[in-house]
Amino acid sequence: MKTEENKFLGSEKISKLLFRFSIPCILSLLISSLYNIVDQIFIGNSNLGYLGNAATGVVYPITIIAVAFAWCFGDGAAAYLSLCQGRGDAENAHQAIGNSILVTFIISLIFLILGLIFENQLLYLFGASAKSIALARDYYLIILLGIPIYMVGNSMNAVIRADGSPKFSMVATLVGAIINIILDPIFIFTFSLGIKGAAYATVIGEIATLIVSIIYYTKTKTFKLTLKSFKMHFNIFKNVIKLGISTFITQMSIVIISLVCNIMLAKYGALSKYGADIPIAVIGITMKVFSIVINIIVGIILGAQPILGYNYGAKNIKRVKETFKIVLITSFIVGVISTIIFELSPETIISIFGSNEELYMEFATLTFRLFLMLVTFTCLIKMSSIFFQAVGKPFASAIVSLARDICFFVPLVIILPRFFGIKGVLIASPIADFLGIIVTIILIINFFKKLDDIKVFDEKVYLKESKPGVIIAISRSHGSQGKAIGELVSKKLNIPYYYKEVTALAAKESGLDQEFISSINHSEDLLHDLYLTTSPVKYAIMAQEKIIKKIAEKGSCVIVGRAADYILKDNPNLVSIFISAPLSYRVNKIMSMYHDSKEKAQKHIANSDKNQASYYEMISGHEWGQAQNYNLCIDSSIGKEKTAEIICDYINKIKWGC
C-alpha cells in the first residue's frame, strides 16, 4: 500500500469508500458461489429430487480437498510472485509459477487415481447411503475425471489476481459459472442425462475457466512462462508451499467440518424417521444458501480492509472506529434479515431446490430454523476474524475463526446427537455460534481498549534526514549484540540509526500493528513458518521493503536487520555486514541480559536464528548468514566497542578509497 497514492483513504467519506470497495468484492464472491449452488437447484427440480442433492452433498467435501491443494500451490505461487515483484526477481517468479502448475497437475492425477481406487470407501465415508450411492457414483466419476482441469484452473486463477488482473480472474470464473448455468437444464432435462448432466455441465464450465486462464497466460504483465519454467526447482517450490500452507489448512478445516457433520447426519439420520439421505441433502443445501450470506459479509469486510489498514497504520483511530462501526452495523443487518427469512419462510427457500416430499420439507424447515438460528452471530464472527487480519492481528483472527468452527462446533456435533439424536447435530451450530461470539466480543473489547492508547503517528520522528554516503546494513545472529554495535557505529559516524524505526514506518505504510511487524522475524512460536505465510505478514514484508528503500534515499545510515542487505543489494552505497560470535559467548550474553538459564538461552538463540533464517530466505530466496553475501563478517566476541571501531575503520577506508 503506497501511502501517498492512498491519502484519500484517510479523508474521503467512509460509507462512500466502503461502497466503492465492497461491491466488487461481494459480486466476485457471489459469482464463485454459483458453481456450488446451481447444480443443486436443477437436480432438486428434476425427477432425482432430494436423493440427487444428497449425492452432490456427498461429493462436495471431496472437491474441497482437491481445491485445498490447488489453492495451496496457486496462492503460494501468487504470494511468491508478489515478493518477487517487490525485489525485482523475474527469474524465480516464472519458475515458481511453472512449478506450481506442474505440481498441481501431478497431484491432480494422483488424486484422480486414488479417487478411482477408493471410490466406494470415499463415498460412504462422506455420507452416501444404499439409496444414494448409485447417483453419487455417477456424479462423482464425472467430477473426478474433471479434477485435473478444476485444480489447474483454480491454481492459475490465483496467480492472475497477483499479476494485477483481479477483474480478468473474476471474468474467468464468471465465464465458467454462466456456461454451467446454461448447460445444466439442457443436459439434465432436454437430454435427460439426470445427475450425469449436472456433472458434465460443471466440468465443461471448468474447462471454459481453464481456457480463459490459459489465454491470459499468453499476455501476462510481470512474468512470462517458458518450457524452462516447468523444470522443478525444489528450493523455490519449497517457499511456494510455505506461502500457501495457511490456505490449505483453512480449506482442510472446512473438509473436517463437512466430514464430521455428514458422518453424524448419516448415522443419526438413519436412526430417525428421516433416514440418512434427507439430512445429507438438506445440510448440503443449507450450507450453500448460508455461504451466500457469508460471502456478502466477507465482501463487505474485505472492501473495508484498505480503509482499516491505511487509517490504523496512520493511527487515525477515529476513522478505524467509524469504519468498524459501519461494517458491524451492516453485518448485523445482513445477519438479522437472513435470520428473519430463515425463521419465518424457510419453505420459500427450500422450494427453489425442488422436492415437496413431506419428511424432506419437515426436516429442511427444522434445519433452517435450528441450524441457522444464530446466523447473525456467525456473520459477526466472520466479520471480526477478517477485521483482525486487516489490522495485523492474525493470531486473534485465527482464535476467532477456530474457536467457533473447530473448538466448539466439531465437538458439539459429535457429543450432542448422543443425547438429542438428529436434532443434536442441528443445535450444535447455534450453540457454537453463541460460544464463538463470546470469544469474539472479549477479543474485540480488548482490542479497542488498547486502541485508545495509540499515539498519533509523526513520520518526522522516525524518518531522519541525512547526508549522502554509505548505507550500512547489519545482519546479526542472536546474542551477538548486533543492535548495540549498530547503534555505536551510527554515533561514531554521526549518521541515523534504524531498527524499531523501520517497523514503525512499515506499520504506517501497511496499516498493520507495529508490534505485529516487529515480531515477524524473531517470534519463537513453533508455527513460525506457518505464521510467515499469512496475508498480513506478506503485506508487512512488502511494506518494510518500501520503507527500507525510502530510508536509503534519505542518505547515509545504519539499518539493523529486516533483510536490508538484500533489499538494498542494487544500491551502490550499500555496505553489508554480518555480526556473529561463538555460541558460548552468545549464550553468556543472553543469560546476563535476560537472566535466563543456560538451557533457556540456548533455546532462544536456536529459535531466533532459525526464524531469522526463514524470514531472510522468504525475502531473498538465499541462505541467511553465508559469508559470500556480505562485504564484512565480524566476530563480536572481541567486545562491542572494538567491533564498532573495526566497522568504522572499514567504512572510512571505503569512504576515502583506501
Cell numbers found for residue 387 = 477485521
Q: What are phi and psi of 119, to 5 degrees?
A: -55, -60
Instruction: Specify the 3-state DSSP secondary structure of 632.
Output: strand
Contacts of 24 (CB under 8 A, 6+ apart): 303
Burial class (CB in 10 A: 0-12, 13-18, 19+), 613: middle
Strands 574-580 and 471-476, sheet pairing: parallel
Q: What's the confidence (pLDDT) of residue 606?
A: 87
Residue 287's nearest CA partner among 467, 498, 37 is 37
Here the cell at position 517 is 511487524
Q: What are phi and psi of 648, to 5 degrees?
A: -65, -40
pLDDT of residue 4: 46
Contacts of 542 (CB under 8 A, 6+ apart): 82, 83, 86, 510
Longest dimension (CA), the chain: 93
Low-confidence ranges of the chain (pLDDT < 70): 1-11, 35-36, 83, 85-90, 313-314, 392, 452-461, 508-539, 621, 655-658
For residue 196, give Cα distances in angstroms to 98, 155, 284: 33, 26, 18
Give the burial string for 344-353 (b: 16+ CB within 10 Å, else e).
eebeebbeeb
Question: 97, 159 in Cβ contact below 8 A?
Answer: yes
Separation of alpha carbons 303 and 28, rounded Å: 12
Q: Which residue has the cell 466440468?
A: 203
Q: How far apart are CA 268 and CA 271, in angstroms?
A: 5
**pLDDT tens-digit profile of 588-646?**
988 988 888 888 888 888 888 888 887 787 777 678 888 888 999 999 999 999 999 99
Q: How far is C-alpha 375 from the chain's CA centre?
A: 23
Question: Using an 8 Å Cβ cutoff, are 349 and 265 in contact?
Answer: no
CB-based burial label for 406 (10 Å; 0-12, 13-18, 19+): middle
Q: Is 325 exposed, middle or buried (0-12, 13-18, 19+ CB in 10 A)?
A: exposed
CA–CA dist 627, 518 (Å, integer): 26
How much is the pLDDT for 87?
Answer: 57
Q: Phi then psi for 14, rounded to 5 degrees?
A: -65, -40
pLDDT at 522: 52
Dihedral angle computed from the Cα positions of residues 430, 414, 346 and 365, in that order, rounded to the nearest 10 degrees: -130
Contact (Cβ atoms closer than 8 angstroms) between residue 365 and residue 286: no
- Going across the sheet that includes 471-476, the strands are 497-498, 557-560, 471-476, 574-580, 632-635
Q: Residue 65 is placed in which grid cell?
A: 480437498
Q: What cell was used for 385?
A: 476474524
Instruction: Give me 471's grid cell.
Output: 548505507
Query: Using an 8 Å Cβ cutoff, are 162 and 15 in contact?
Result: no
Residues 339 and 375 sit within 8 Å (Cβ to Cβ)? yes
pLDDT in tens, 182-235: 999 999 999 999 999 999 999 999 999 999 999 999 999 888 999 999 999 888
Beta strands in 459-507, from DSSP E residues, in sequence order: 471-476, 497-498
* Alpha carbon distance 522, 562 (integer Å): 10
Domains of the chain: 1-31+272-456 (no CATH), 46-268 (no CATH), 459-655 (3.40.50.300)
Strands (E), 238-384: none
Distance set, CA 71 to CA 103, 245, 500 (Å): 12, 9, 35
Whether 146 and 202 have beta carbons less than 8 Å apart is answered as yes
List 578's β-bridge partners, or say none: 475, 633
CB-side exposure of 453: number of CA atoms within 13 Å? Answer: 5
Kindly state the helix (H) or strand (E) to which residue 500 belongs, with its residue range.
helix 500-510
Please choose, from the candidates 534, 570, 568, the residue with its C-alpha nearest in 3D space to the C-alpha of residue 551.
568
Between the CA of residue 492 and those of 468, 487, 637, 655, what are the distances in Å? 16, 9, 20, 14
pLDDT of amino acid 3: 43
DSSP-assigned letter for residue 504: H
Look at residue 210 in the predicted model and tell me its pLDDT.
Answer: 96
The answer to whether residues 432 and 412 touch, using CB atoms and an 8 Å cutoff, is yes
Give the pairing type, strands 497-498 and 471-476: unpaired
* CB contact at 8 A, 87 and 224: no
Helix (H, G, I), strand (E, B), or coil: what is residue 559?
A: strand
Which of 407, 403, 406, 408 has its CA nearest to residue 385?
A: 403
Query: Is residue 254 within a helix (H) or strand (E), and if so which, with residue range?
Result: helix 234-270
